[in-house]
Amino acid sequence: MDWSKAKTILIVVFLILNVFLLFTALYANSSHGFQDYARYAEEYLRQRNIEIDAKIPQITGQKGNIVYEARDFDFSQLTRYVFGHEVARTVTENSTVFAEDDNRIELTEDELMITSSLSDDSDRFKNSKAFLQMVYSFLDDIGYPQNNLTLQSSEETESTKAYVFNLKYKNDVLFDQFIRVDFQSDGLLTITVPAKEVKRVNHFNSDILSAYQVLVMGGLPDGSVVKDVSFGYKQMSKGELFDTPAWRFLLSDGTVYFFDAYTGEKPL
């Protein structure tokens, strides 16, 4: 037996084992530290009569700012879907328009609006579940799959339905990117979507604050009841060309608080 070769193999094996044990210990300590901080944070919030009636996402580590670019819409496909065939465009100083009868597609710098007259949708209008499924199918067909959306709010009257969705990027919410759907009982459907999409993520070396850290330092009013905690991205200062990692807290009275996930500060 070549003892020298066997000794080298054993040394390598022990080195690999030590590295594995080191990373295991670091992971365990990190998880344990998060749980300890969460427990202390909950006790502090209880002392201020702040109740957490929501699941707290355990999101930590590094996140980068999001940069957007203009979305490239396939109008050849889109006009065939909305009108049943391709339609010539009309270009103005501020928009590009495709129109025929009650159907219309209009693109501006900020948004794309689609107006479509659907035939005899009285039954679907009365059935909210069927209507919502129709909306998801419509959005999926124009390039917005359901798994990239989260329902933000809905309103219904006898003659109208309105739904607002937030777009998501890799399961994180884009708090400033909305899709609005308005539907009238006569079958007129209007959908407004953002005219931009995520181009890239700029990575930084600084970690984000956990939701518990922001809850402790954020200064929520005493007696608040937190009904939802979400992580995502938001423009923190007017005029910025990127979105910053952010935490959103929804209170039981409907009040929404946003905080910069890097600093714990509120948007300007």
Q: Specify the pLDDT at position 186.
A: 82
> Percent of the chain beyond pLDDT 70?
84
Tokens of 131: 């209507």
Task: Tell me what percent of the chain is helix, strand and coil, each rounded to the nearest 5.
Answer: 30, 35, 30
> Percent of the chain beyond pLDDT 90?
57
Q: Specify the pLDDT at position 146.
A: 95
pLDDT of 23-65, one tens digit each? 333 334 444 455 777 888 889 899 999 999 999 998 888 899 9
Global pTM reads 0.81
pLDDT of 106-165, one tens digit each? 999 999 999 988 765 556 667 778 888 888 998 998 889 999 999 999 998 888 899 999
